[in-house]
Structure 1
Amino acid sequence: MTEGKTKTPHAIHLPGNELMGFAGLYTWWPDKTLPEDHADYWTLTATILTREAVGNVRQLHERTPVTLPPSFWDEWLDPDEEGDQSLVDAAVAAATPVAEALEFYPVDPLRGDGPELVDPAS
């Protein structure tokens, strides 16, 4: 949430702190300015797919990651699956009930890199 220019960080989770899986994509890009045998010739890039926010998280932002239910993980990760728009559409549809169930609470600004990051704001 943002009030004026001040942003309030939030911890977002599923009820019961269930494990969340996001729909992501990756690809390798060649740097054609380098020789093919150069150690930096290939660069790995990755992204998390987003969708219009639904449910309570709309209060925080208009977009949210595509949060896949465990029942869709195998299909999304199947290396033999054709990665086309119909798969993305199916992932977004499968993610809707998960996205609607997300819960959140405010946390303090960054103050470390451990589990204290999700302690409720003081």
Structure 2
Amino acid sequence: MTEGELKTPHAIHLPGNELMGFAGLYIWGSDKSLPEDHEAYWPLTATILTRETVGIGNGRQLQEGTPVTLSPSFWDEWLDADEEGVQSLVDAAVAAATPIAEVLERYPVEPLRGDGS
């Protein structure tokens, strides 16, 4: 959440601190500037899917765009290596995320400082 120019970090979790999963995508690309036998020729690129911003907890939004949270009942389908990654699967993940966003709990935390404290 941002107030003026100050950003306040928040801890976000499910009630009871249940595990929470996010919908992510990855791809092994190729770095054509390197020889094909170079160990860094196939870098891994990953991203977390986001959707339209929704309120968390008390309804106040923390940022633009909301990560797509995966309901535990959707984990097996999302992680199934035999499942074809088509738009309908992404749409189903976004639809399943809506109820989770409504029950998330959040609270402000102290910002991390670069001095190790």
Gaps of 5+ in 2: none
2:45 is matched with which residue? 45
Question: Residue 82 of structure 1 aligns to which amino acid in structure 2?
Answer: E
Which of these residues, 71, 83, 103, is aligned with residue 73 of structure 2? 71
Runs of at least 4 residues off by over 4 Å: none
Q: 1:8 to 1:23 in 2, by over 3 A?
A: same
Number of equivalent positions: 112
Give how far 1:111 is off. 4.9
Gaps of 5+ in 1: 113-122
Question: Residue 92 of structure 2 aligns to which amino acid in structure 1?
Answer: A
Contact 2:23 2:49 in 1 (8 A): yes
Percent of aligned positions that are identical:
81
Alignment partners' CA distance in 2, 1:66 and 1:76: 12
TM-score for both structures, normalised by structure 1: 0.85
Q: Deviations over 1:60-89 (max 9, x none)?
A: 123111000110000000111110110000
Q: As a proportion of its length, which structure holds more helix?
A: 1
1:9 is matched with which residue? 9
